[in-house]
A and B are shown apart, each in its own frame.
Chain A
């Protein structure tokens, strides 16, 4: 959970800084949020992503056995499908990490668009995984 929160903060910072860069000095909160140096986040994001994914993979059999079967029996297909999509998105996100590292480690002007797209894609995957994980964790509170 702590890894996931740290990861979502870091990747959101970086994604916003590449989509909406702020090159000047800004005193506003939003300007400062946009003005971070994305390069400094790369290694931390990779470590946090891997730690979160590995911990998730360790508890995954428990979900598969005790939670997913209940969702299925009670016909909660949308939450179940959302988790299935999350599982695959996280796998593809983890596989994107070597490319993500490469495009940040060797920044070339011609690769800027690709670097930004990979970063935004990772951010969207992390957000999806975070939201789905929390909705499923608290699903009984949603009246299901």
Chain B
């Protein structure tokens, strides 16, 4: 089995996990740039916290997990899945992100 066939699954899964991870704030860790500290989970201390790096790791691990599960799916079944999901899921995630960022544009 070529591991490369799982790459589109990884990309779509990353986007599918990214939107809720951002909305519900699921970072694996938080970086505090003011104090240069790293904390496990979503932690707010002195100064603005940076959840983005932690959210990237959450999504990376989650997408790797989904791709690993997809490896168990027989290829003839996998070939029936529409490849367009590879771009449609990230587009949907971006639309959702634009929606949750709308207060920046409405203020």
Contact = CB atoms under 8 A, between A and B. Distances in A.
Chain B interface helix/strand/loop/mixed: helix
A88 interface: yes
B59 A69 contact: no
Interface string B1-45: 000110110111011001000100000000101100000000000
B17 to A, nearest CB: 10
18 contacts: A60-B50, A61-B33, A65-B48, A77-B107, A87-B52, A88-B22, A88-B97, A91-B18, A92-B14, A98-B11, A99-B8, A99-B86, A101-B4, A102-B5, A105-B4, A117-B87, A121-B87, A121-B90
The 6 residue pairs across chains A and B that have the minimum distance between CB atoms: A81-B104, A98-B7, A95-B14, A99-B11, A61-B33, A102-B7
A78 interface: yes
Given A69-B48, A98-B8, A114-B83, 18 more contacts: A64-B33, A65-B34, A77-B105, A78-B104, A85-B97, A85-B101, A88-B94, A89-B94, A92-B14, A95-B10, A95-B60, A97-B11, A98-B7, A102-B5, A111-B83, A114-B8, A114-B86, A118-B86
Interface of A: 57, 60-62, 64-65, 68-69, 75, 77-78, 80-82, 84-85, 87-89, 91-92, 95-103, 105-106, 110-111, 113-114, 117-118, 121
Contacts, number: 105
Nearest to A81: B104
B74 interface: no
B12 A99 contact: yes
Contacts of B83: 103, 110-111, 114
A75 B107 contact: yes
A117 B11 CA distance: 14
A70 B71 CA distance: 47
